[in-house]
Amino acid sequence: MPGTADKILQSILSSISQVADSRDIETLLMQFSRMAHELVPADRCTVWVFDKERNILWSRVADGIGRIESSAEEGLVGYVLKSGEPVILNDVYADSRFNPEVDRRTGYLTRNMISIPLKNSDGDILGVFQSVNKLGNIDFLEEDLKLLLFVTVYIGREIDAALLRDELDATQREIIYTLAEAAEMRSQEMGNHVKRVSEYCRLIAELIGLSEKDQELIKVASPLHDLGKIAIPDAILLKPGRLTDEERILMNTHAELGYSMLKHSNRRAFKAAATIAYEHHEKWDGTGYPNKIAGKDIHIFGRISAVADVYDALANARCYKPAWEHERVIALFQEERGRHFDPQIVDAFLENQERFFEINRTFADAHPID
C-alpha cells in the first residue's frame, strides 16, 4: 500500500504538534486517543492513568460523562499495570483476567482489546492504554501492537510531564515565586534576573534534549538559585564596587545557605531547587564553589543554571558592573567552554544565542541601572 506510511507519519506529526500546544492532561488524553485511532482503527481507545495514592486507574471516556474509575488490582488494566507487559486478547470474555465490571457500568460490549503499559522515561508505569474492539469485526494483530507501541511511548512521556504540572499546583508555584522575590528584593537591582534565568534554564534543557518533565522542573525550580542571598548583609549584597576577599568569602556562602534552606522538603520542585542552589557556582573544571566538584558530578541542572546565571549577570547591569556588549559575552563563553562550563551546554547556547538574547530583551529590567 504505497502512501500508507506517509499518511501514518503525517497523522502522527500533526497530532504531536497539537499535543505540544496542549497543557491539560484530559485534553492530552483525548488527543492521544485520536492519534491511536488513526493508526489502528478501533471502536474505542482508553488511556487509564494510575493514581498511586488511591490505588485506582481513572480514565475519561470520549464524549462520556466525566471520569470512570477502576481498581488497580482488577481486570486486564490491573494485570498490565503490574506486569508491565502488553497483552492482546481477541476474546476478552474467555479470559479470566478481564473484568466485565466496566462494561456493566458503561453499558458497552467489549469484544477484543490490546492493553499496553504506559511508562515514563525512567520506566515507571504510569497507566495503561487500551484499544478496544477493532473495527471491521476482525482480530487485533501483532502489527497493531507494534504501531500502538510507537504512540504509547509519547503518551507515557506526556502524561508524566502533565502529572508534574498538576503536582506543581498553584500554591507550590506561589511559594516558590514568593521566596524568589524575597531573595530578589534584597538586591533590588536584580529586577527580572530570576524570571530570565528561569526562562534560559528551560530553553537550555530543551536544546540539550532533556525530557519535558525536566524542562518544566528546572523552569519552576531555578528561580530559587540565589535564595541564600537573603542572608547576605546589604553592605555586601548592594556594594557598588568590587568585593574584598573577606566579603567574597561571605558572599559565596549563599550557595550552601540556599541549599540548607531548601533541602528538607520532599517535594520534587524544592529538591531540584536545593540542588540548583547548591551547584550553580560549581565549575566544569572543578574550580568552583562550594564543593569544587567537576564535570558530570555536577548535576545537569547545576550545569545548566551556571550558564543561565552567568549569561544573565553579564548581559545585564549589576550594582557592581555595567551590562556587557553581546560580543563580549559570547567571547567569554567561548573562552570558558570546558573550563567554567559544560561544553555541550555552551555549544547549545552559542548555536542559539539569538533566542537567549530575545529572552533577555523580553524580560528587560524596567529601570536598568546603567
Binding site for ligand C2E (CB under 6 A): 239, 242-243, 251, 281, 309-310, 313-314, 318-321
Separation of alpha carbons 334 and 340, rounded Å: 10
Separation of alpha carbons 85 and 95, rounded Å: 16
CB of 196 to ligand C2E, least distance (A): 11
Does 7 qualify as catalytic in the annotation?
A: no
First to last CA, the chain: 66
> Which of the listed partners (ligand SIN, Fe ion, ligand C2E, none) does 209 bind, with a CB threshold of 5 to 8 Å by partner kind?
ligand SIN
> Which of the listed partners (Fe ion, ligand SIN, ligand C2E, none) does 355 bind, with a CB threshold of 5 to 8 Å by partner kind?
none
**Running DSSP on this structure, what letter comes out for residue 213?**
H
Site string for ligand SIN, 268-307 (x = CB under 6 A): ----------------------------x---x-------
DSSP 317-349: -BTTBPPPPHHHHHHHHHHHBTTTB-HHHHHHH
Q: Write down the catalytic residue from 52, 229, 263, 271.
A: 229
**Closer of 52 and 242 to ligand SIN (Cβ):** 242
Q: For the segment 224-243, give every residue that binds Fe ion (CB under 5 A).
A: 226
Residues paired with residue 89 on neighbouring β-strands, in sequence order = 113
Is residue 111 a contact partner of residue 133, using CB atoms and an 8 Å limit? yes
* Contact between 103 and ligand SIN per CB under 6 A: yes
Choose which of 76, 163, 315, 323 interacts with ligand SIN (CB under 6 A). 76
Separation of alpha carbons 291 and 294, rounded Å: 9
E-assigned strand segments in the chain: 42-51, 56-60, 67-71, 87-89, 113-119, 125-134
Choose which of 15, 31, 33, 99 interacts with ligand SIN (CB under 6 A). 99
* Contact between 46 and ligand SIN per CB under 6 A: yes
Dihedral of CA atoms 218, 220, 225, 227 in degrees, nearest 10, equals -160
> Which of the listed partners (ligand C2E, ligand SIN, Fe ion, none) does 99 bind, with a CB threshold of 5 to 8 Å by partner kind?
ligand SIN
DSSP, collapsed to helix, strand or coil, labels residue 45 as: strand
Separation of alpha carbons 352 and 345, rounded Å: 11
Backbone angles phi, psi at 243, to 5 degrees: -80, 145
* Contact between 199 and Fe ion per CB under 5 A: no
> Which of the listed partners (ligand SIN, ligand C2E, Fe ion, none) does 239 bind, with a CB threshold of 5 to 8 Å by partner kind?
ligand C2E
**Closer of 155 and 190 to ligand C2E (Cβ):** 190
* Contact between 316 and ligand SIN per CB under 6 A: no
Separation of alpha carbons 353 and 307, rounded Å: 12
Separation of alpha carbons 81 and 73, rounded Å: 9
Kindly determine how many residues on this chain lie close enough to bind ligand SIN according to the rule CB under 6 A.
18
DSSP, collapsed to helix, strand or coil, labels residue 74 as: coil
Kindly determine how many residues on this chain lie close enough to bind Fe ion according to the rule CB under 5 A.
2
**Which cell is 123 given?**
520506566
* Contact between 29 and ligand SIN per CB under 6 A: no
**Closer of 68 and 230 to ligand SIN (Cβ):** 68
Separation of alpha carbons 247 and 307, rounded Å: 24
Stretch that binds Fe ion, among 42-50, 93-101, 219-227, 236-244 (CB under 5 A): 219-227
> Which of the listed partners (Fe ion, ligand C2E, ligand SIN, none) does 192 bind, with a CB threshold of 5 to 8 Å by partner kind?
none
Q: Which residues are catalytic?
A: 229
| Chain residues in the site for ligand SIN (CB under 6 A) | 46, 75-77, 98-99, 102-103, 110, 130, 208-210, 242, 296, 300, 320-321
